[in-house]
Amino acid sequence: MIKFVQHNLETEDGVAIYSIISLSIFFVVFIAFFIWAMTYNKETINELSELPLK
């Protein structure tokens, strides 16, 4: 099944752009989440980490 799909995609022009777009979207989301996590309020993180123990 995969070989059938792969063969069809190899014969189409412009299919490589989809892999570039998906990698770019993943990279942007990963960097955005990393920035969000680094700038998150430390007091809130401590409060959330203590919830299972309460």
9 Cβ contact list (under 8 Å, min separation 6): 15
How far is C-alpha 39 from the geometric centre of its chain's CA atoms? 19
Render pLDDT for 34-53 as a digit per residue (tens, 0 to 9). Answer: 999 999 999 998 998 999 88
Token pair for 26? 């993943």
Token pair for 2? 């995969």
Taking a C-beta distance cutoff of 8 angstroms, is the pair 9, 15 a contact?
A: yes
Residue labelled with tokens 């190899």: 10
State the pTM of this model: 0.60
Render pLDDT for 10-23 as a digit per residue (tens, 0 to 9). Answer: 666 777 788 889 99
